[in-house]
Structure 1
């Protein structure tokens, strides 16, 4: 006796196939969601291939100043926000002695460049390779962004830091 062609016997898929199908669905959904935000085009810094930059990049947070992380197309970089309001590049030239304004946030010294307001550029001082963070101050607070990035940036050991004239040792 044969079955009617519209009636199929009950076939139960093995558990691993159901699990694989579920994982595939999640991966495809994640890919679809990330496709909504284009990749942020950044130029790699000259020393972006330094192993210290790799150590920093793996520690970059998922959010900075409540802005979600974005994918970038250059080594040693990070970006957050849509449109990107926080940009990071590891491996920029290490600044030498300067009279530029310096601030300390969570134990990391940063030189501050306010010449392109409302975009502020912060460059680590006393760390090699140096890290540059550009913040759109109309969208996020520079201090908040630097605080959120401090754990990752601290992967690069401090070799020095900012000093003031009052800290200088007098010479004869």
Structure 2
């Protein structure tokens, strides 16, 4: 091999290595903890259907089972297999057929948890970087792969006595 060819091969190899380092350096793996029920096979049905972008943010690789992340830095985090929520007084939103409990106690980070689906899915959304409603719309199709077992109800859905009536005792 001539010195010129050896030089060209070495230069090409260094360029490929440097390019790979630069590209992978920009998209580091997002470190997350798996949820308690992340091994649930239904979570796998959700994860394989996650979109490659959410609210125009690119998908990121994560290091934990049944998780997802979008944005650089991450503005949307997903965990499948979180504890199924009990009835709550927190607001419940229905977006494209998916019921979500909204917790804004850590605003501008909003926590949305599916209601009436087992296993439950949780989203953490940085509202300073992305619109929560856009994220919920973009993820509805994937989350819809977890069958609904119930739905949110409001006070107007409850049977309450009126005009002195009494309700029969619960069975």
Q: Could you say which TM-score interval applies, normalised by the shorter chain?
A: 0.7 to 0.9
What is the CA distance between 1:34 and its match in structure 2? 3.9
Match among 116, 127, 140 for residue 106 of structure 2: 116
Structure-1 residue corresponding to 2:147: 157
Kindly report which structure 2 residues correspond to 1:1-172, keeping only aligned pairs within 5 A, or say none: 33-170=23-160, 171-172=167-168
The superposition leaves residues 20-69 of structure 1 with CA deviations (integer Å, 9 ceiling, x where unpaired) of xxxxx8xxx77863442110000100000000100000000000011000
Distance 2:72 2:140 in 1: 22
- The alignment covers a number of residue pairs equal to 148
Unaligned runs of 5+ in 1: 7-24
Structure with higher Rg: it is 1
Q: 1:30 to 1:78 in 2, by over 3 A?
A: farther
Distance 2:153 2:20 in 1: 47
Distance 1:144 1:31 in 2: 33
What is the CA distance between 1:165 and its match in structure 2? 1.2
Structure-2 residue corresponding to 1:14: none
What is the CA distance between 1:168 and its match in structure 2? 1.4
Partner-residue secondary structure (3-state), 2:58: strand
Unaligned runs of 5+ in 2: 3-15, 161-166
Would you identify which runs of 4 or more consecutive aligned residues in structure 1 move more than 4 Å?
Answer: 29-32
Tell me the C-alpha RMSD between the 2 structures: 2.0
